[in-house]
Amino acid sequence: MGFVPRKGYFRINPGITTSFESRNRAINRHGPGLRYVQIWDRDWSKTDHDLALSYDIQFNNSSSLEFAFTDSFVKLFDDFDPTGQSDDDPSVEPLPSGSSYRWQEAGLAYQSDIRKDFFYELAAGYGGFYNGTRFRASGNIGYQLRPILGIYLVYTYDKIELPDPHGDASFWLLGPQIDLTLTDNIFWTNYLQYNQQDDNINFNSRFQWRFAPVSDLFVVYSENYLPGGFTVKNRALVVKISYWINL
């Protein structure tokens, strides 16, 4: 994974938050936050914006609850299909290049006490999405047998409804993960991901040996499958060594 530079644009990202101490025995602090992102092209024409108003509650047991309202704007420079169906279904048309969309969404997120062996994060939101609507849900469920074992399940669900002829879609992404700490310097992570939208199952296994301070040997094996018959699309074995030179 990496970053693709977006050249020829101007961007601002101001934000402000404040919090209040609470006299409630269960609540540690709470308060609102405001974040704004806007992007212009070289002609100072707006291409994107995100305005997010939130209210965050931090509990004394380290759990948290956040309410958020987001206003979004996007201008498309190429045809785009949010459902991912237009390549396989000619009756589904992508949103046309040059069109602009503005929508609002309300969301809720909760994180349990991460100091405990069993913890979870839950999030959900509903509102507009381009020229239609979207319901989304996501989260992370984990169990840690410190310091040896960590078992996690990351998931997302999206239900997108767009007016004809742009199509509707519902899809899951599931990602169980197992982390093993074999010694103070040897770690083994196994990750499986099912992506319903891309019709793909990915398996990734990473071995890490920290043989010196800030110096590691990584051995990573990865495969991609088609669901059903588990037909292999591709596989790869990658070896990486990093070494810290202290001058």
Sign of the dihedral through C-alpha 115, 119, 125, 130 = positive
Residue 21 or residue 84, greater confidence: 21
Q: Could you tell me the pTM of the whole model?
A: 0.83
Give, for 85, the enclosing helix (H) or strand (E). none
Tokens of 165: 């002829």
Cα 20 to Cα 33: distance, rounded to the nearest angstrom: 12
pLDDT category at 91 given cuts 50, 70, 90 is confident
Please tell me the distance from the alpha carbon of residue 130 to that of residue 73, in angstroms, as a whole number. Answer: 8
Predicted confidence at residue 4, as pLDDT, reads: 65
> From CA 133, how far away is CA 168, in angstroms rounded?
10
Q: Which of 2-11, 80-89, 151-160 has the lowest mean pLDDT?
A: 2-11
Q: List, in sequence order, every beta strand (DSSP E) within 24-117.
A: 27-41, 46-59, 64-75, 100-111
**What is the reported pLDDT for 1?**
43
Domain boundaries, the chain: 9-181
